[in-house]
Chains A and B, each alone.
Chain A
């Protein structure tokens, strides 16, 4: 036997790479719950470790280690992982090991996944992120590897380490595949004691965990369901994740050079961020006066005395809006517009001794309750306490007092600028540190500044928390009145006259779209243009030529056609579009427009009957996908809203309605409602429908409340009105 042992050892060594799916994997596979039997891929193990090290004498290092073990269960999974995509640049030999992972075949063999399998290295061109004219463009890297010889039943282990990745920012606790086991560890190994890792777990139905120390966070989860798309939901609000950010380090941003800012760079902690944001504001405030002077001057005649503060504030707001619109102030400039707005308005209000505050907030685009990006992502605005009026940058909204949907109900911070607007003494400290290359770790200067401000009795640290209002559904509504102008059963078309009145967010959306196509709308009946013109400020008063007007008219009709098409109409033609009331300067009044359109496949006559697809006139309704038999995520929509329709269908000579009762339906729950009524009024049929979403967020456990009225509206869409010829 003796001679055999070395041979066996040698054989083992030689075939060391062919141990295949070892017992560890087999036991994991055996533990896959039966409810995942139809999954294409199951993650047996997901490990993510991130370590951040700060040294006094060297640059910070960021070590990232990712290990994911995929179990491929069907042909789709084979296809998916045969073209493995990694969101990084594998060409950098210094940053990547040659071996990125291993394939464990079901037949017992293994082979490595290496950088040699790299097929495509692609940059996604993203010119939109370009902040300054440069040959260097922002781009995402994407590496694609062709993984050979995969088959159903194989296990693919991705295991790589990177020494120079960006901070992760967000670590998601769900995946597009279900995970049998998930664990992550994030830690900061730091020099000194002031830098701090801030970790915020946000999730529902997950254990309530917190970091074990300010420098370390870890979480372990088992049997994690995969992420799934569902209607009426907001991914970032409903996907559990861990948010992390760093305290300030030596590469913290220069607050003055905005163009150099990278949104993925490390930002200071929240309090320091707010403080820096205020310093930047105050710095700008001290220098920005040109536009304020113009506004003050333009309002002199109308307001010899300030007897209506609210009217003055709104006029000042609209004048500012007119200034930037007519002079194209920010064309091609991606600086923080809202800061300019807030500085200018504050100067105007300060001069008129109108009490106000500056608010700072971050848009809720991603539904994140906390932000991880830097302070320059914050938007500035003006709050008038006496009138509870929020004034947002007019590039975001069109009306004084309108709150963008992505700010509704969202938290903000206010500070007063009245007394201390000229003092921004700490700005230069903040600016000097990176300029001089001073390492912050031993000095911890920025935190010191915050502490100094806190201790300074003459400079009140007056940052106050608050939240923007959230509006009920009647505030965001569309009222449609649609009248059948002509029915042509021979070619199955109906021509309609449509009027629609938009309020709230719907008004903002439609007016923005229309204004984008026709700047004329902003010029017509605009008192603020005249006020500015009276001050001899050069204005562009060029009128559209006939050709331009025709082009605009066509675009507006195309816009309506596109909207109708997205609602399921087969549109033949849109005619006579006109904006009847723009009300761009009055938040309480609607934007209204009217037009005619002809749509196909709506009416049929046969024998004594005429069949009208009357339900379809309200447009295609949201339907519940078959895949959503079991709701998982909570519901979320950007804002509450409602829609009403009044549909007038004149009866053709000799015809009477024969099934009006089918058009009287109702479904009402705590979440919303859809009701319809139909009756004959003289020689016409009038159908009225009303749909309201009475929630912004709604619990998934009460899904039927939402589904009920959604289903009713969806079903209504397919109803046909039968007209019968009187004998």
Chain B
């Protein structure tokens, strides 16, 4: 149905947009998994599948047009020679037999690699015949606005036609076993059968941990074989009917929802050569510490700026505040994943001079400045809520972020300067409750970020409503705190000046086009500690109806419709993750016009369960109708099994929102 000249095609399902979609960087990101999980050896695969198998496989994945019939990834360990020296190396051999059920399909594949890994022998075959011409490109990989200096992308294109079998294979070598930590099974396309084989020689010390295997039918077998008269343990994982790993919006991270293996390469002992990698958290700490200790800061360079920031302040808490807020305000976050620089902070003076840095650089600058102020400040490694692992695992996959911990007055303050507009002792949802590792000289301290209540993210809304002809007019004040506040302030501060007023109007309108926002005032938009408040007038059309032939007045006062559109249907594959926990309280009063009385009001709603609480009601008062509404989302995660209950509760919510208040002339 087209109603104007707008681009109706923009909301087409994904398979209408395959070529464009495949070219997007988001697509490639999803293949980061693929790069780590890849598989197989060409000669073990049959050269041709009968079309009947295509039919059988495609019927398992009804919404897909491109499939892998079988995918094999084998990892083996060896000593590779480079000149006169040898080094430990992990080799990943990937083979995938693929087909399409579309008459024509363009497959854009990609493999991610970096300074510590390389791609070799990328080739493809059609029905067993290796193709000599294969468009391949190598380029830098870039995620949204974040610079990854060493990540590289190998992209390739295959024009596929229905009825043929395509085989893609490549080898990827990892030269630094410390950077080899995870193996995923899923890819950005459906896989009929996946086999991951890890061939561990007896001279390699290695452990494997299975993550998120519940609900997935994965078999693990082990057998010992002799390779070149040396014992090799083959650990084989087999999984069938793997759906595409493609992200739905508001899905938990891959690490939290997809089955994968955590691989701990602890070291090796071969003849007289022995090397230790990560065998414990202590190993991780010592490695990280060696990197941070190698960073020397020229404090003489940052001292003048520090003095300018704190001026004559003597109070340590105030000094901490000033430094923390200065770094937030002045140092722009630009991420670097430049090989070892993914783990090694930039020097504080460099960050201070160039006024940009990644989390490590910002944490280090905060630390060094606080030390100048006489505060005990330390670097702290943390995995955000996207990371499901405990601290005690001997893998770098535990940490994806760095902050600074200040020890002051017997209390620890966890300072994440990448989080703009956050106050001291307040913590963003993404780090709350997460385990941390704080530097402590030769040892380390394990701790946790406090888990704050959902009440932190409180939104209070008070509204006075009056009937004005066929419209409602209102005066409203919203007061927001916590994540609601920081999200607003972060978004607002990054807007162009000319769009800021407009953006506030749009925020207040909450996509309700029947609302016209009038004058508004805000509290200080640079304030971090106190809640943010906005007072405004509005006019709401299509909200007052006078049915012909009656004395009745129908009023539809709802304007915000929180969560109304969040209904789940059977197509949703993953759990739903809210951006943060919500706590919304609305209190409205509607003045009853002279000569009218209440005829009927919608019934109250009261819902309470472990995930959320919703209480809504109208009450008659002297010359007024009072509406109170409270919505508490107590967890960020709504599990798929709770969707049915959510939909039922949402129906009550919607009825409350959309049922009119009925007044009648006396």
> A543 at the A/B interface (Cβ < 8 Å)?
no
**Cβ of B546: which chain A residues have Cβ within 8 Å of it?**
659
Interface size on B, residues (CB 8 A): 84
| Chain A binding surface, main DSSP class | mixed
B104: Cβ under 8 A from any A Cβ:
yes
Q: Do B142 and A127 have beta carbons less than 8 Å apart?
A: no
Residues of A within 8 A of B9 (CB): 513, 566
Q: Which residues of B are found within 8 Å of A120, using beta-carbon distances? A: 140, 142, 147-149
A563, B334: Cβ atoms under 8 Å? no
> B500 — nearest CB in chain A belongs to which residue?
A38
With A127-B106, A135-B136, A619-B1 known to touch, is A611 a contact of B149 (CB < 8 Å)? Answer: no
Instruction: Chain A residues near B353: list those with CB within 8 A.
Output: 148-149
Given A79-B332, A130-B157, A135-B133: A149 and B354 interface contact (C-beta under 8 Å): yes
Q: Across the two chains, which residue of chain A brings its CB closest to B59? A: A547
Do residues A146 and B550 form an inter-chain contact, with CB atoms below 8 A?
A: no
Contact assessment for A148 and B513 in the assembled complex, using a CB-CB cutoff below 8 Å:
no
Residues of A with C-beta under 8 A to B354:
146, 148-149
Which of A38, A500, A618, A627 has most chain B Cβ within 10 Å?
A: A38
Q: How far apart are the CA atoms of A122 and B139 in the complex, in Å?
A: 6
Partner pick for A718 among B494, B513, B654, CB 8 A cutoff: B513
Which residue of A73, A513, A559, A567 contacts B3 across the interface (Cβ within 8 Å)?
A567
A39 to B495, CA, bound (A): 11
Say yes or no: B139 contacts A609, CB within 8 Å: no
Residues of A within 8 A of B133 (CB): 133-135
* CB-CB nearest in chain B for A36: B498
* Known contacts A606-B659, A607-B599, A641-B5; is-contact A146 B140 (Cβ 8 Å): no
- A657 CB, nearest partner CB in chain B, Å: 8
For A719, the chain B residues whose CB sits under 8 A away are 542
B142, A122: Cβ atoms under 8 Å?
yes
A151 to B63 CA separation, bound complex (whole angstroms): 50
Query: Is B441 positioned at the interface, with any CB of A under 8 Å from its CB?
Result: no
Please state if B655 and A492 are interface contacts (CB–CB under 8 Å): yes
Q: Mark B1-41, 1 if CB is under 8 A from A, else 0.
A: 11111101111110110010001000000000000000000
| Contact A601 B564, beta carbon cutoff 8 Å | yes
A559 to B9, CA, bound (A): 9
Q: Which residue of A lies closest to B600 (CB)?
A: A607
Would you call A135 and B11 a contact (CB within 8 A)?
A: no
Would A137 and B137 be within 8 Å (CB), given that A555-B15, A659-B545 are in contact?
Answer: yes
Which positions 507-558 of chain A face chain B at CB distance < 8 Å? 513, 516, 519, 545, 547-548, 551, 554-555, 558
Q: Once the chains bind, are B140 and A559 in contact (CB under 8 Å)? A: no
Known: A123-B139, A148-B355. A626 touches B505 (CB 8 A): yes
- The interface residues of chain A lying within 8 Å CB-to-CB of B542 are 718-720
The answer to whether A621 touches B19, judged by C-beta atoms less than 8 angstroms apart, is no
Q: Is A654 an interface residue, CB under 8 A from the partner?
A: no
Report the interface size for chain A: residues with CB under 8 A from the other chain.
Answer: 97
Residues of chain B contacted by A622 (CB below 8 angstroms): 3-6
Q: Across the interface, which residues of A come within 8 angstroms of B5, CB to CB?
A: 232, 622, 637-638, 641, 693
B654 touches A601 (CB 8 A): yes
Determine the distance from Cα of A221 to Cα of B135 in the docked complex, in whole angstroms.
46
Task: Tell whether A125 is near chain B: CB-to-CB under 8 Å.
Answer: yes
Residues of A within 8 A of B549 (CB): 658, 724
Residue A506 at the B interface, CB < 8 A?
yes
Q: Does A623 contact B (CB under 8 A)?
A: yes
Whole-angstrom CA separation of A626 from B508 in the bound complex: 14
A75 contacts partner chain B, Cβ-Cβ < 8 Å: yes
B2 touches A558 (CB 8 A): no
A566→B8 contact, CB < 8 A: yes
Query: B residues within 8 A CB of A133?
Result: 133, 135
Determine if B342 is an interface residue (Cβ-Cβ < 8 Å): no
* Alpha-carbon distance between A77 and B353 when the two chains are bound, in angstroms: 19
A592 to chain B, nearest CB (A): 14
Query: What 1/0 mask marks residues of chain A from 109 to 140 whose CB sits below 8 Å from any chain B CB?
Result: 00000000001111101111010011101010
Write out the residue numbers on chain A whose beta carbons fall within 8 Å of the beta carbon of B658. Answer: 492, 601, 604, 611
Is B595 interfacial (CB-CB < 8 Å)?
no
Q: CB within 8 Å of B: which of A144-183?
A: 144, 146, 148-151
Q: Which residues on the B side are within 8 Å of A565 (C-beta)?
A: 11
| Cβ contact within 8 Å between A480 and B1 | yes
The 3 tightest CB contacts between A and B, nearest first, are A148-B354, A658-B547, A566-B11
What are 29 contact pairs spanning A and B, CB under 8 A? A76-B497, A82-B332, A121-B140, A122-B142, A125-B108, A127-B106, A137-B136, A137-B137, A137-B157, A144-B147, A148-B356, A492-B651, A545-B55, A559-B12, A562-B13, A566-B8, A601-B654, A604-B658, A604-B659, A606-B660, A619-B1, A622-B3, A641-B5, A658-B547, A659-B547, A660-B548, A714-B513, A720-B542, A720-B545
Q: A119-B334, A563-B11, A661-B548 are in contact. List 7 more A-B contacts (CB 8 A).
A: A82-B355, A125-B23, A150-B355, A548-B101, A562-B11, A562-B13, A691-B3
